[in-house]
Structure 1
Amino acid sequence: MAMWPELGFQQSPYATGPVPATEEGENLFVGREANAKRLANRLRSSELHPTIEGDNGVGKTSLVAVVGYRLRRDYERGDTGQALIPLPAPFQLTQKSDAAALERKVLLAVASAMIENHDLLKNGGHNVPDVSQVKRWLESPIVAGGGLGASVLGVGANATRSVAVNTGAGFNEEGLRSTVFGWLEQCFPTPQSGAFICVIDNLELLETSKDARALLESMRDGVLSQRGLKWVLCGARGIVRTSASSPRLEGRLSEPLELHPIEDSEISNVVARRLDQYRIADTAIAPVGPESFKFIYDVLNRNLRNALGYSEDFALWAYEEGYFEQGEPALGELLREWIKRRADRSNEDTKLTGTRAWEVFDALAIKGGSCSPGDYEEFGFNNPQAMVPHIRSLEDVNLVISSASEEDRRRKTIEMTPRGWLVRYARNGYSLSE
């Protein structure tokens, strides 16, 4: 038998992925109701696209998933005539991304969403295209052409038409754009009639706000301005705030909704809900209970994703070593010893020469684990360049991660890693206080 059913659970209660956009995800959603209300209000009531900013692993994707699920559910129930329907997957950007490729992905996803939600929108009184024609167009090896204004299905067509073999996924570029934009305007004639919700996640993968801003600016007059599309942009380390500050993006993106770690008073409920959700036996044994989870969360500087990952690592180790026969109370004590051993091993394996880098490391921990190159004076340096070699030394042993950018001094570009927090725990005498 697999491990989790043997322990009395349907699946791992410590999975690190975002909660799903389902009733299950809503049941697992803890400590974010105020943020959820703000995001839902911005999606319902503002023509600006919401943005969310927060550290990696803080729960941005889960927040968007649950809010999107609730908005769609409200429309399905008839509680509102505003059809806010999330696309099924977020869009991920990298430095190799370009606006044309992103727009094509978005428009193909919207066309598929029109098919998937045709009956829902039609029953709600929205004017949606004939789904059979949409399907044929998506799958057709032939496209109708004839000038930049040409399209198919009668949307945006002009008098000159020709037939050509399709070299894409059923569309030529201009036909795709004009037709899908026409569908959106037909289906969502006003902001209050609704929109498809599109998400760009992990905007920091573009590495600098300059790259992010350039890409967003190139989208400004296309999908970022199209009626019937509502965007949510998510990013870490201040990249959203600096990207959205571009004059060309004024009137498009809202001030970021800042997402902070879940409050200490709520964090035990995160695992309590998961244990309840996935428990399939009254005799189930939780490898990491609510209080033990809070301990891991505190050691790892209140990072939810990292705390869940370490909880699952412990569960696997304890199961493989045969410790579950001792019961849950003994597992709690064992977990603390396991964390101490991992912290000691990480500390012993860290080959960092010289005291100055350690001083920077300890000062960074006291500061909360993140800083900008512009904070050099707080670390006792005369200029940013003097601090750089020590940051590099810390990066070399995986105690910090840096994405410094000369133009982005306002961003928190230097952060301690989970391994860094374990080393800090060992160096601090296994104390969580500074």
Structure 2
Amino acid sequence: MSYRSLGFSADPFSNKALQADEEGEKLVVDREAEVKKLVRRVQESDKVPTLEGPNGVGKTSIINIALHRLLMQSQRDENEPMFIPCRCSFQINKEKGAEEFLDEFYLQVALTLVESANMLRPPPGYTKAPIETSIKNYIQSPIIRNYTGSILGNGLGYGGTPNSGKGWERVGFRAAIDGWLKLLFPKSEAGGVVCVIDNLEILQSSAKAKETIEALRDTAFTVAGVKWILCGSSGVVRGVASSTRLAGWLHKPINIGELREEVGGEVYEKRVETFRKNEQATLPLTRDNFITLFDMFKGNSRFALDEAGAFCTWIFDEVDDLSKIPDDSFERWLREELETNYDEIFVFFRDRDEEAFKGICQQEIFVPNDCSELGFDDVAEFTAILDRFQNYGLVTPTLDQNTPEDTVYEISPKSLKLQYFIDSQADRE
């Protein structure tokens, strides 16, 4: 048994980010305000929009839906700015230097323009948008070809002979892309290619993230015809935005929280409607089952979808015929999941671990220096407990600061399941 055999075109519980397309538009729930804020910032300001929020809340999905709407507006109305989403998002890590990042950036922008050739508007003096064959040739070859004549068909070319020197390649290729962008998007209000730097928390510290973004301020962020969006987990984007060197460059972050718990049923319904191939298609997980998972994970759609998929996989492995699934299958599966999770973790709890666990579940995002709010006077003691929790998989450090006491933590899906089990046991008593 599989989703396809049940009458679905694909896995309706995929927890991947929504794509920048019509399907993504169909699936998005309860994010209209956030999408509108982002669209407005891209359209009306030269500042870089920023988003931040806990892992799994749908930040990347919001960006993708906003980019799709911007593109659709451009295609519906030629008086609207032309915004073209870059073909992929960018990530920065500790090993990647500024020059390496710029190499990747220019290459992906060039590929985006080549792939979007049929959507590009003709600049003044052109009957159609120029398609740069020489740049396409460069992309396909490690050696720069002889760029003679007019690269962009309007005196914007440069000459040269085949040369494999990295410095020469960078200068020539970047100059060609800069010229192409200026021709297509002569003014900021004309639009541009929209590029996203996602998952800034990969840098692990706001100081490192700030340093890296500062290095791009006078390079990538000043390329004409390119718009940027920055995205990261709680704390990291605000840390970047606080930089004095970036003052006036970045918008204050759009804070992305969990979905409202009352929209869990709508998330399920949209998934079913989008992926089923006929009205008779039925899933082993009911709407009420999904709402239970959605509530357990406090509106975190990624966690809820992942757990919904896990249940369906279990059913597919256990049962060959949907009509033969016992009525209590979901309740039995969930109880076993929660009990196993509890037994694997709680046996290792000691001293004041349970007290600390209850406190962090209320906070959800916290730093060790918050210990006094949770009834702990000793930061070192509380930090030691968090180290154990990290080993158990209960918390995840999302942002390392200069000192351990300022490290930002988030509770994990395992914590939410454990808390749900403890609460349900208390309710029974």
Kept in 2, the 8 Å contact 1:60–1:259? The answer is: yes
Give 1:431 deviation, angstroms. 6.4
Which stretches in structure 2 are left out of the alignment for 5+ residues? none
Specify the alignment match of 1:7 in structure 2. 6
Specify the alignment match of 1:338 in structure 2. 333
- Equivalent residues in 2 for 1:32-43 (5 A)? 32-43=31-42
Kept in 1, the 8 Å contact 2:261–2:298? The answer is: no
Give 1:134 deviation, angstroms. 2.6
What do the CA deviations read for 1:312-339 (whole angstroms, capped 9, x no partner)? Answer: 0000111221186457xx7774323322
Measured at CA, do residues 389 and 278 of structure 1 come closer, stay the same or move farther in structure 2, by a change above 3 Å? same
Q: TM-score, normalised by structure 2?
A: 0.90
Give 1:151 deviation, angstroms. 12
Specify the alignment match of 2:248 in structure 1. 251
Higher alpha-carbon deviation: 26-35 or 121-130: 121-130
Kept in 1, the 8 Å contact 2:149–2:157? The answer is: no
Identity %: 27
For 1:75 and 1:158, how far apart are their aligned partners in 2? 26
The structure 2 residue matched to 1:166, chosen from 132, 151, 164, is 164
Measured at CA, do residues 46 and 284 of structure 1 come closer, stay the same or move farther in structure 2, by a change above 3 Å? same
For 1:94 and 1:365, how far apart are their aligned partners in 2? 30
Which letter maps to 2:360?
L
Q: Does 1:295 align with 2:292?
A: yes
Kept in 1, the 8 Å contact 2:394–2:411? The answer is: yes
Which letter maps to 2:114?
I
Specify the alignment match of 2:356 in structure 1. 360
- Equivalent residues in 2 for 1:258-273 (5 A)? 258-273=255-270
For 1:109 and 1:93, how far apart are their aligned partners in 2? 15
For 2:42 and 2:427, how far apart are their aligned partners in 1? 39
Give 1:188 deviation, angstroms. 1.1
Measured at CA, do residues 242 and 145 of structure 1 come closer, stay the same or move farther in structure 2, by a change above 3 Å? farther
Which stretches in structure 1 are left out of the alignment for 5+ residues? none
Give 1:306 deviation, angstroms. 0.9
| Equivalent residues, number | 425
For 1:267 and 1:40, how far apart are their aligned partners in 2? 25
For 2:152 and 2:96, how far apart are their aligned partners in 1? 32
Specify the alignment match of 1:219 in structure 2. 216
What do the CA deviations read for 1:376-395 (whole angstroms, capped 9, x no partner)? Answer: 21122334323111111111
Measured at CA, do residues 116 and 24 of structure 1 come closer, stay the same or move farther in structure 2, by a change above 3 Å? same
Measured at CA, do residues 173 and 155 of structure 1 come closer, stay the same or move farther in structure 2, by a change above 3 Å? farther
For 2:222 and 2:327, how far apart are their aligned partners in 1? 53
Kept in 1, the 8 Å contact 2:46–2:188? The answer is: yes
Give 1:403 deviation, angstroms. 4.1
Specify the alignment match of 1:137 in structure 2. 138
Give 1:20 deviation, angstroms. 1.5
Specify the alignment match of 2:412 in structure 1. 417
Give 1:284 deviation, angstroms. 1.5
What do the CA deviations read for 1:119-147 (whole angstroms, capped 9, x no partner)? Answer: 3213586975442233233335543799x
The structure 2 residue matched to 1:371, chosen from 366, 375, 390, is 366
Report the 3-state secondary structure (helix = DSSP H, G, I; strand = E; otherwise coil) of the residue aligned with 2:352: helix
Kept in 2, the 8 Å contact 1:151–1:174? The answer is: no
Q: TM-score, normalised by structure 1?
A: 0.89
Kept in 2, the 8 Å contact 1:299–1:432? The answer is: no
What do the CA deviations read for 1:267-315 (whole angstroms, capped 9, x no partner)? Answer: 2111101101111132222222333212101112321101101000000
Measured at CA, do residues 61 and 331 of structure 1 come closer, stay the same or move farther in structure 2, by a change above 3 Å? farther
Q: Does 1:390 align with 2:385?
A: yes
Kept in 2, the 8 Å contact 1:285–1:324? The answer is: no
Kept in 1, the 8 Å contact 2:89–2:198? The answer is: yes
- Equivalent residues in 2 for 1:105-144 (5 A)? 105-123=104-122, 128-140=129-141, 142-143=143-144
For 2:271 and 2:80, how far apart are their aligned partners in 1? 33
For 2:9 and 2:157, how far apart are their aligned partners in 1? 60
For 2:106 and 2:427, how far apart are their aligned partners in 1? 49
Measured at CA, do residues 275 and 166 of structure 1 come closer, stay the same or move farther in structure 2, by a change above 3 Å? same
